[in-house]
Amino acid sequence: MIKVKINNSSQVELVDSDDLIGIINQSAYILNKPKSDCELEIVITSPRSIQSLNRKYRHINLPTDILSFPLKQFAQVDNILGSIVICPQILDKNGYKMDDAVKHGLLHLLGYDHDQNLKQWDSQAKLIGCRM
């Protein structure tokens, strides 16, 4: 089971947090990952804040809909997957839904990468119904 902490610092009303937690755990169950209990964080933020993160970590000075920060890239921690940062305004502008963003972020935190192995990404995304 994945324990999910949700931090909504945006001015946007979020869908039910229990729904997001359910989506995370159902997707993890389908993917049969992770193998033990762990935690992740979902941060809902503004276009300005996500642009700042995008500039700092990806060197792209534009707002984006979602960023994922797998903790294993920064530290050897087994029970904390990392953070998924979502901007609902940009998500909506790009025509995506919150559940797809959460699934997309989870795939990244679990080690899947559409830039490195698109075939593997597509197969895993299909399993959990991720359309991003």
Where do the domains of the chain lie? 2-128
Tell me: the pLDDT tens digits for 42-52? 999 999 999 99
Say what the alpha-carbon torsion angle 54, 58, 59, 61 is, to the nearest 10 degrees.
-30
**pLDDT score at 74:** 59
**pLDDT score at 82:** 92
Asked if residue 42 lies in contact with residue 6, where contact means CB atoms within 8 angstroms, the answer is yes
What is the spatial distance between Cα 29 and Cα 23, in angstroms, rounded to a whole number? 10
Q: What is the pLDDT along the chain (132 residues), one digit of tens a residue?
A: 889 999 888 777 766 788 999 999 999 999 988 777 889 999 999 999 999 999 999 999 999 999 999 987 655 567 889 999 999 999 999 999 999 999 999 999 998 888 888 899 999 999 999 998
- Domain 2-128 fold: Collagenase (Catalytic Domain) (3.40.390)
**pLDDT score at 88:** 94
Asked if residue 97 lies in contact with residue 57, where contact means CB atoms within 8 angstroms, the answer is no
What is the spatial distance between Cα 65 and Cα 8, in angstroms, rounded to a whole number? 15
User: Going by DSSP bridges, is the β-strand pair 38-44/66-70 parallel, antiparallel, or unpaired?
Assistant: unpaired
